Structure 1
Amino acid sequence: MFKIAVIGASGLLGRALIEELASQAGWHVIATAFSRPGPNTVALDIRDARAVADFVEREAPDALVIAAAERRPDVCEHDPALARALNVDAVRTLAAAADRRGAWTLSISTDYVFDGTHPPYQHDSTPAPLNAYGRSKLEGERALAETTGLGCVLRLPLLYGPIVSWAESAVTSLVPAIAASTLPNGKVAVMDAWAIRYPTFTPDVAFVIRQMLERHARGEAIRGVVQWSGDEPMTKYEIAVRLAQTLQLDAHLTAQRTPADATPRPHNCHLASNRLDALGIGRRTAFDIAIRQVLARFPWRDGTVQA
């Protein structure tokens, strides 16, 4: 029996991962959650070092995937202590507990560890984060490397996938403004057309992680830093146009061609996926196909967004 602990299983990526791993014969998955624990999850606050140590000792997983984090740049900017607790200290605590058991730890990081000025970025490119979120995730990468020799960082860009609320992904969070712009006297939706993003489908990421776990199960654990990314560059404005087309909404959109976010964000952090590509790991679903799947599973009708 190959046992995997998924930390943060109720989140956007965690749910996709649980769904991907559930069908694997001979694998046992233990899911943890904090803010949204369900009937099949273990309640765990990863800021509680004793609780983390007890959980890992009790469950004795062969692999541990850390999908829990504070991922909102504006929140990290205004509450760096929270960002550090979740993105750095908790990674160190989880990795230390896993290391004591000889378990492989996979920690999820971000393209925001780079400043976006010289893409594409390789796994060994020099990081230079622009904001508190990127800095906290980079510190988390270093905490993992310092704590265990049996660990791997997986850097990912902007994620989207099956959601429980529009706000759960920066892709689908655009839908309410798009829908509102179609109403009588509705405001024109101003969308960023400066930063280039690479939207990446969470079921594809879950597939990648499953392939990485399979290598560990064979005794071929991947270590160090790897990256995975969708391959379709687009701005939020371009994403909004495609969302409106998919939803068949006559949206009124305006492109904002200069940076407007209060929290600094990089221009283009395209992640090169060479290392995983070379191992034959990966899958990419075209954005238009994937976003139709996402929207088909989330309720909206008559141009009115259902929260």
Structure 2
Amino acid sequence: MKTILTTGSNGLLGQKITEKILAEGRLKLVATSKGANRYPVIEGYEYAEMDILDADQVKHVIEKYRPDAIIHTAAMTNVDTCEANKELCHQLNVDAVGTLLAICEEKNIRLIHLSTDFVFDGADGPYQEEDAVNPVSYYGESKVLAEELIKNSKANWSILRTILVYGITSDMSRSNIVLWAKGALEKASPINVVSDQWRMPTLAEDLAEACLLAVEKNAHGIYHISGKDYMNIADLVRKVADYWALDKTLIKEIGSVSLNQTAKRPIKTGFVLDKAIKDLGYNPHSFEDGLKILDRQMKKEN
């Protein structure tokens, strides 16, 4: 049985990977994150505290558990924070990857690395894996730099790029677009939503499944992983309102320029999913089905 080590196991994707491995029982798991374990179940896997900025600790933990593959989900993903604090962003999104790569090369460990649609400029989406990258933010740039490190390494690797991940876990450190929109509309708060940015939102469970498929199929190269539905952000929020029968008149459409955000966002991303479907057997849920899954999980939590 293969042993998988995850970084960032306290995050949304990290917790969904833990959940999936425990449910299926086909893989051994070592979950790692900075600080104490936030996953509610503590049986059936190992947990180790690991700060990806502490190279000695990273080396110690990986040498102790000797995983067959590492799924690297830990990263700085707040786009505006990355723009405002480029040094820390570089440390977390680039230098930490270099640390992992050196160990993976030395110990012959596979690396599954999570990347983003923000490597593209958004002028010509949806994108295929081989399309030219051209980030418009420092977050996107940091992810491009990490991808380049990986591509130039001797490690056995795959890069999974994804888009606008949504979902829910029992102890979340940050929200996501679906939960934010639902929460605000339930409080009858008017919300400004951009109508000129296009995405393909990704259910966290689908992304977790893709990570494990990449391990099991020994996939090499870059794969685009997202939901199957292409929509602008305002339409996405309207679909959330429709699903939970909330007041759509509270949604005010605005243009990206009026948001005055620190970092620029790509206008139209989206992915062509053919390669992941063919090579990995990836089969994402529709956005509607994703909301159904989320709704069931929320009812269970309450």
**TM-score, normalised to structure 1's length?**
0.88
The SS at the match of 1:147 is coil
The SS at the match of 2:281 is coil
* 1:240 pairs with 2:242: no
Question: What is the identity, as a one-letter code, of the residue corresponding to 1:95?
Answer: L
Determine the structure 2 residue equivalent to 1:282. 282
- Which moves more between the two structures, 167-176 or 221-230? 167-176
Partners of 1:96 and 1:148 within 8 A in 2: no
Q: Tell me the distance in 2 between the aligned counterparts of 1:150 and 1:202.
A: 24
The SS at the match of 1:83 is helix
Q: Tell me the distance in 1 between the aligned counterparts of 2:146 and 2:112.
A: 12
Partners of 2:14 and 2:73 within 8 A in 1: yes
The alpha-carbon deviation at position 73 of structure 1 amounts to: 0.2
Determine the structure 2 residue equivalent to 1:218. none
Deviation digits for residues 239-280 of structure 1 (CA, Å, limit 9, x no counterpart): 221222222222411111443341210111112222222225
The alpha-carbon deviation at position 101 of structure 1 amounts to: 1.1
Partners of 1:207 and 1:283 within 8 A in 2: no
Q: Tell me the distance in 2 between the aligned counterparts of 1:11 and 1:295.
A: 20
Determine the structure 1 residue equivalent to 2:194. 192
Q: Tell me the distance in 1 between the aligned counterparts of 2:146 and 2:97.
A: 6
**Aligned positions of 1:234-273 closer than 5 A:** 234-251=231-248, 252-261=250-259, 262=261, 263-273=263-273
Q: Tell me the distance in 1 between the aligned counterparts of 2:58 and 2:125.
A: 37
Q: 1:71 to 1:36 in 2, by over 3 A?
A: farther
Deviation digits for residues 133-169 of structure 1 (CA, Å, limit 9, x no counterpart): 1001111111222333311111111101124459422
Question: What is the identity, as a one-letter code, of the residue corresponding to 2:240?
Answer: L
Q: Tell me the distance in 1 between the aligned counterparts of 2:109 and 2:289.
A: 36
Q: Tell me the distance in 1 between the aligned counterparts of 2:60 and 2:280.
A: 36
Question: What is the identity, as a one-letter code, of the residue corresponding to 2:220?
Answer: R
The alpha-carbon deviation at position 36 of structure 1 amounts to: 5.0
Q: Tell me the distance in 1 between the aligned counterparts of 2:166 and 2:128.
A: 22
- Which moves more between the two structures, 76-85 or 137-146? 137-146
Partners of 2:10 and 2:33 within 8 A in 1: yes
Q: Tell me the distance in 2 between the aligned counterparts of 1:6 and 1:73.
A: 23
The SS at the match of 2:198 is coil
Counterpart among 165, 173, 181 of residue 180 in structure 2: 173
The SS at the match of 1:23 is helix
Partners of 2:277 and 2:283 within 8 A in 1: no
Determine the structure 2 residue equivalent to 1:113. 119
Q: Tell me the distance in 2 between the aligned counterparts of 1:22 and 1:101.
A: 26
Counterpart among 40, 52, 73 of residue 79 in structure 2: 73
Q: Tell me the distance in 2 between the aligned counterparts of 1:277 and 1:230.
A: 12
Q: Tell me the distance in 2 between the aligned counterparts of 1:136 and 1:290.
A: 29
Moved >6 Å (runs of 4+): none
CA root-mean-square deviation? 2.1
Partners of 1:116 and 1:269 within 8 A in 2: yes
Determine the structure 1 residue equivalent to 2:204. 202
Partners of 1:160 and 1:171 within 8 A in 2: yes
Q: 1:166 to 1:249 in 2, by over 3 A?
A: farther
Q: Tell me the distance in 2 between the aligned counterparts of 1:201 and 1:26.
A: 22
* 1:3 pairs with 2:9: no
* 1:224 pairs with 2:226: no
Determine the structure 2 residue equivalent to 1:16. 16
Question: What is the identity, as a one-letter code, of the residue corresponding to 1:58?
Answer: K
Q: 1:166 to 1:15 in 2, by over 3 A?
A: closer
- Which moves more between the two structures, 165-174 or 233-242? 165-174
- The sequence identity of aligned pairs, in percent, is 25
**TM-score, normalised to structure 2's length?**
0.89
Q: Tell me the distance in 2 between the aligned counterparts of 1:5 and 1:24.
A: 16
Structure 2 portions without partners, runs of 5+: none
The SS at the match of 2:229 is coil
The alpha-carbon deviation at position 238 of structure 1 amounts to: 1.3
The alpha-carbon deviation at position 178 of structure 1 amounts to: 2.1
Partners of 1:56 and 1:98 within 8 A in 2: no
Partners of 1:167 and 1:173 within 8 A in 2: no
Partners of 1:10 and 1:33 within 8 A in 2: yes
The SS at the match of 2:199 is coil
The SS at the match of 1:297 is helix
The alpha-carbon deviation at position 26 of structure 1 amounts to: 4.8
Question: What is the identity, as a one-letter code, of the residue corresponding to 1:42?
Answer: A
Partners of 1:166 and 1:173 within 8 A in 2: no
Q: Tell me the distance in 2 between the aligned counterparts of 1:3 and 1:280.
A: 20
Partners of 1:160 and 1:170 within 8 A in 2: yes
Q: 1:175 to 1:165 in 2, by over 3 A?
A: farther
